[in-house]
Copies of this chain bind each other. A is one copy, B any other.
Amino acid sequence: MNAESLHSHKGRYAYERLERVIHEKARLGILTSLLTRPEGLLFSELRDLVGLTDGNLSRHLKVLQEESLVSIQKAFVNNRPQTTCLLTEDGRERFLNYLQALEQVIKDAETATKKTTKSESAWLAT
C-alpha cells in the first residue's frame, strides 16, 4: 500500500459506529431477543433465551436500562411479582444502527476473502 492510498484509508476499519454498550456479547443476545418481541419478554423467558444466570442478566439489564436502551416493568399477576423487559424506541433505533455497522464488518471481510481467493486462484493457475 503506498502512502497516498493509505492516507485515504485512514481509520477505514475503526468501526466507530459499533456502540460499546451494545457490542458486549451477552447484551447483543438480550437486545436481539427483545427485538423479536416488541411486546416484551418476561425476565425468566429472556434468561432462558440468552442462557445467562439471574445475576448476570440483572447486571446487564441494569446497564442497558441506565443507557435508556431497555425499560423494565414490574407488576403483580395473580399476587406474584412479574418483571417484563422491553426494548425502548431509542434502544430499537440505536440497535438497528449498530446492526448496520456490524453488516459493514461482514461486507469488508467478504470483500477481503473474495480478493484473496481470486489471487490464490490466479497463483494456482500459473
Contacts and interface: CB of A to CB of B under 8 A. Distances in A.
A50 B41 CA distance: 38
Interface in A1-50: 1, 6, 9-16, 18, 20, 23, 25, 28-30, 32-33, 35-38, 41, 45, 48-50
A13 B25 contact: no
The A contact surface, by secondary structure, is helix
B35 A112 contact: yes
Given A32-B109, A102-B102, 6 more contacts: A1-B45, A11-B49, A13-B32, A32-B108, A35-B113, A95-B109
A13 B38 contact: no
Contact of A25 (B18, B28, B109, B112): B18
A30 B109 CA distance: 11
A49 B15 contact: no
